[in-house]
Amino acid sequence: LMDNFITVLRHALNGTFSPVLQQAIGFGSAFEGWTAREEEVVYHVLVPMTRPPGHSFHLERDTDEQRPGRNFRVRVDLECSCPREQQGANLLCFRHHPEEVRRRTQQPNLLDTLCTGSYLDVEKTAHWFCQLVRAKWWRLPQSRSWHLELLPSKRSCKLRLTNDEGSFRVKVLFGVQRGISDIFVSSQPQGANTPSTMWPETYAVAEKLFFRHVAR
């Protein structure tokens, strides 16, 4: 299901300056068959996001020791594509001529859409993704046999799918990879008042891959 979703959404986002969605990674007890039979199954997935063209992501560690865990902000910068000796010479340079890029492409940059200030905003990202899901659900073959319901959530996209045989839920989180490791900063909240530009570190994917390796 999520592979189909990501394929459809990536096609819809082609030519925009939205985050580039990567294939979803499932983790947690539902994927390992630990859910009690009487409970509605909840599948947790992480959708990694990479920078769109003309942008760069930089992770900045939060230094507030009052917050639990390790937390980061994702700073978004516009990149320079000018020749080294001629700063500003390229009219399609995101950093030096953002208005010209916007005019020619008819597309806003990421700072205009999903950021608060210079930082990627979790709540704006979740809302954007949910809108995409709602708009593109009909393109999936599963839409012919399942009813989709979007559930309230600020920092994730929560879905419930129902048909005549039952229902299940999917909680979609968003993440930015730390370097080339299996560690991500994600939209999973740390406490009730997690700021919208705060991305806590998660080891869920790394743990899944580790246990899979050990089980071989």
- Residue 96 belongs to a domain: no
- Residue 176 belongs to a domain: yes
- Mean pLDDT within 87-96: 72
Residue-wise pLDDT for 184-205, tens only, equals: 999 998 877 889 999 999 988 8
Give pLDDT, residue 84: 66
Give pLDDT, residue 40: 80
Separation between Cα atoms, residue 187 and residue 84, nearest integer Å: 37
- Residue 114 belongs to a domain: no
- Residue 172 belongs to a domain: yes
From the number of C-beta atoms within 10 Å of its C-beta (0-12, 13-18, 19+), residue 152 rates as: exposed
- Residue 11 belongs to a domain: yes
Question: Measuring CA to CA, which residue among 66, 32, 48, 51 is closest to residue 187?
Answer: 48
Average pLDDT, the chain: 88
If one counts the domains in the chain, the total is 1
- Residue 82 belongs to a domain: no
Q: How many CA within 13 A on the CB side of residue 30? A: 14
Where helices occur in 106-194 by DSSP H, the ranges are 110-113, 122-136
Residue-wise pLDDT for 136-176, tens only, equals: 999 999 999 999 999 999 999 999 999 998 999 999 999 99
Separation between Cα atoms, residue 48 and residue 172, nearest integer Å: 10
Give me the domain span that covers residue 206: 2-76+121-215
**Strand ranges, E, within 40-89:** 42-50, 55-61, 71-78
- Residue 171 belongs to a domain: yes
Band (101; pLDDT cuts 50, 70, 90): confident
Give pLDDT, residue 33: 59
Q: Which residue has the tokens 């730390």?
A: 178
Q: What does the block give as tokens for 72? A: 């980061």
Kind of pairing between the strands at 42-50 and 166-177: parallel
Question: Which CATH number do you get for residue 189?
Answer: 3.30.460.90
